[in-house]
Amino acid sequence: MATTKILLALAGAGTLVTALLLGSVIPVRADSDHVAARRLLDAGEIMPLEKIAERARAEKPGQILETELKHKHDKYIYEVEILDGGGRVWELRLDARSGELLKVEKDD
């Protein structure tokens, strides 16, 4: 009985130590997306998301469902999905530096 308790205690301690060691070895992405976006914003490469959202809503009023910042053809593009009052979803693409509307299409 005492041996069983000792073995259970050792197994529990071993599990805890293993979890702690593995937790400290898991790589963390040093330059996460929001940090990279912040650098681009600070460098003047992209506009703030708030301004892009205003421009997108001016084109297609509604609720913004999703935004993505993508790098395509050597420039940054914001892709904004908007749900309009009629229940349709639109995808707008805007130049991230100038805010220029590049494309509007109904999402399927």
pLDDT at 33: 76
Which tokens hold the place of 49? 């998301």
Which domains, from first to last, does the chain contain? 2-106 (3.10.450.40)
In terms of Cα–Cα distance, which of 102, 93, 97, 100 is closest to 43? 97
- pLDDT at position 3, please? 58
DSSP letters, 72-92, are: ETTEEEEEEEEE-TTS-EEEE
74, 44 Cβ separation under 8 angstroms = no
Per-residue pLDDT of the chain (108 residues), as tens digits, is 565 555 444 444 444 444 444 443 444 444 577 788 889 889 999 999 999 999 999 999 999 999 999 998 889 999 999 999 999 999 999 999 999 999 999 987
Output the pLDDT for position 30.
44
Cα dihedral 55, 90, 104, 44, rounded to 10, equals 40
